[in-house]
Amino acid sequence: MDYTLVKILHIGALIMWLGPPLGAWLMLRQAKAACEDDTQLFEQYRLFYRLIALEHVALLFLLGSGLWLASQYALWPSPWLQQKLILVFAVLVPIELVDLVLANVLLPRIHQKQYDGGRLTTWQQTLQSVYHGPFTYFAVFVIPLLTLSIMYLVVSKQTLF
């Protein structure tokens, strides 16, 4: 496969990884403030979780295309790539794994139970609060900083540390 095509697909996956979750989060914040009907708010949560699923598909493609580029063009010994991989696999992937489990498995079930009139356990309420509070704020702060750092490494081919 051509380097330029894979690189364009890699950058496209980056955009699809960053754009939908930020848009979904902003949409959900607005919906929480504006929706008076539980059914409308539940539908907004369902849309939110669908967009988060799209984010994770894009992330898988982003990681796969990046690893393919590094392998195909023998970039593994490059110090900038090694630092990029540290940032990606030591910081970014763990955040995304937590997000994957919460947003694609646990929280949709919790919101469905809540919508169906079921009583949530303290643990389920805490999970909701942590995900839609501190975890999301942490991710919204850290992921753009990581992305900018990774972009610096890729463009400059110099190391950060």
pLDDT of 131 reads 96
pLDDT of 161 reads 83
**pTM flag (> 0.95):** no
- What DSSP designation does 95 have? H
- List the one residue out of 98, 29, 33, 32 whose CA is nearest residue 59: 98
pLDDT of 38 reads 85
> Which pLDDT tens digits describe the chain residue by residue (161 residues)?
788 999 999 999 999 999 988 899 999 999 988 888 888 889 999 999 999 999 999 999 999 999 999 999 888 999 999 999 999 999 999 999 999 999 999 999 999 999 999 999 999 999 999 999 999 999 999 999 999 999 999 999 999 88
Q: Indicate the residue type of 35.
A: C
- Can you tell me the distance from the alpha carbon of 20 to that of 53, in angstroms, rounded to the nearest whole number? 9
pLDDT of 109 reads 95
Q: Rg of the chain's alpha carbons, rounded to an integer?
A: 18
